[in-house]
Structure 1
Amino acid sequence: MLLVVGGMIGLGKTSVAELLGEHFGTEVFYESVDNNPILPLFYTSSEEEIEKKRYPFLLQLHFLDTRFRSIKSALYHDNNVLDRSIYEDWYFAKVNNDLGRISDLEFQMYDRLLDNMMQELKELPKKAPDLMIYLKGSFETVLSRIMKRGRSYELDAQLEAYYRQLWEGYDEWVMSHYHASEVVVIDMDRYDVVSRREDALEVLALVESKLKMIRKK
């Protein structure tokens, strides 16, 4: 069983991944955040610095590298949880391309590299995740959760437009462009798995129910 946890920045992917890992007794492959040297630069640099240093493109390459390593390990061994996965990387790269933070040439290079990596995954013992747990929520909830977790480089008011553009297209991307596995949607306006144990148990029940349906097919 391979589960991937996806969704908008700030909605609690790591907390849900931890919850699932503990519940199913599986290893969790975490998103490369705390040990990521480019992420703070991506969030805090001026537009002039971004234009010169190409931080958005470098960040996407960093995530692509670390997520490819994670999903290869996860697909070799059964029973794993991925805190975000390589499948969502394309969406983040596309949004940054739409915003002009990644050039068309950089995006084309990225797209070819990702396609090459995805072809290699088809050669592994397991081909794809069993289920994506997609966390969705209102934009107000996204901003509130980002503020609550308090990563200083994420709190600049100028980032709100970037967060909004990501948020506005996320549901459509998952429902129309993600085809690697089935999806269960968790409404994070309703659930707080960190502060309320009953919410955590209900989320686990939703995932268990979806997995039972998949196994019956």
Structure 2
Amino acid sequence: MKGEHNAVIVLAGMIGAGKSTYTKLISETLGSDAFYESVDDNRILEKFYEDPKRWAFSLQIYFLNTRFRSIKAAFLHENNVLDRSIYEDALFTKINYEEGNMSDAEMDTYLDLLDNMMEELDGMKKKSPDLLIYLRGSLDTVLGRIEKRGRSFEQIEGNQGLLDYYTHLHSQYDNWFDSYDKSETLIIDIDNHDLENPADAQIIMDLVTKRLSDVRLNKISV
């Protein structure tokens, strides 16, 4: 199947939704390159969890820069899967602003920079992904997966503030998705699929390839 499905696919979803796992499955099955959001190279992420008011703005600028670089590279090659994209980055910034972790001036600076970057994407030959896959699941599901993957700084035990942050973020994801208009979309219910089960993995890939076929037919008919 390698090389058969030329498309730029982006994953979206809560922290802990499984975006990297889905990216690996989809990219390997379709023969695409994969772009992963690096945690090990991020010197700010753990600092943010320790002191969000001090580090929220720095973290969002870091993410904005790395996601901008990744999506530019993905658009150039037109055969990629990204485990998170620039399009949902503003949601995280909005939540941090609403949580009081960022000032008005920081929020305005971020939005101005984001607008500038989006104008650059609009000037590229390929301007948007072919498909965005939204991994939708309950808060209990994503909290369970966060606990299972075991990053100490992500754990909510004894940290009510972090639980409140996750809850706030989760409550806004459907609204963000409903307003997304850059590409065609596919929703995958992560409450009812486990990629460790080969049968579930096959179901997911059947959904993805069917949706990609529909997207291509729509483009041809336009």
- Specify the TM-score bucket, using the shorter chain as the normaliser: over 0.9
Corresponding residue SS for 2:42: coil
* Structure-to-structure mapping, 1:44-83, within 5 angstroms: 44-45=50-51, 50-51=52-53, 54-83=54-83
C-alpha displacement of 1:44 = 2.0
Deviation at 1:214, TM superposition (A): 1.0
TM-score by length of 1: 0.94
The one-letter code sitting in structure 2 at the alignment partner of 1:136 is R
Tell me the secondary structure at the aligned position of residue 42 of structure 1: helix
Letter in 1 for 2:72: K
- Letter of the structure 2 residue corresponding to residue 168 of structure 1: S
Counterpart of 1:201, as a letter, is Q
- Cα distance in 2 for residues equivalent to 1:140 and 1:80: 30
Q: Residue 133 of structure 1 corresponds to which residue in structure 2? A: 133
Runs of 4+ in structure 1 deviating by more than 6 angstroms, as ranges, are: none
Report the equivalent of 1:190. 192
Corresponding residue number in structure 2 for 1:40: 46
**Other-structure match for 1:3:** 9
Matched, 1:169 2:172: yes
Q: Please give the secondary structure, in 2, of the residue aligned with 1:34.
A: coil
Instruction: Confirm or deny that 1:216 pairs with 2:217.
Output: yes
Which stretches in structure 2 are left out of the alignment for 5+ residues? 1-6
- Partner residue in 1 for 2:31: 25
For residues 136 and 40 of structure 2, the distance between their equivalents in structure 1, rounded to whole angstroms, comes to 23
TM-score using structure 2 length: 0.92
CA distance in 1 between counterparts of 2:14 and 2:20 reads 12
Letter in 2 for 1:202: I
- Name which of structure 1's ranges 107-116 and 152-161 shifts more when overlaid on structure 2: 152-161
Residues 41-71 of structure 1, C-alpha deviations (whole Å, 9 max, x = no match): 11123xxxx44xx300000000001000000
How far did residue 156 of structure 1 move? 3.4
Q: Give 1:213 shift.
A: 1.1
Q: Name the structure 2 match of 1:181.
A: 183
Contact 1:2/1:130 (<8 A) preserved: yes
The offset of 1:185, in angstroms, is 0.3
Aligned-residue identity in percent: 50
Amino acid across the alignment from 1:192: D
Distance 1:134 1:86 in 2: 14
Q: 1:142 aligns to what? A: 142
**Secondary structure in 2 matching 1:28:** strand
Q: Separation in 2 of the partners of 1:186 and 1:81?
A: 16
- Structure 1 unaligned blocks of 5 or more: none
Residue 212 of structure 1 aligns with an amino acid whose one-letter code is S
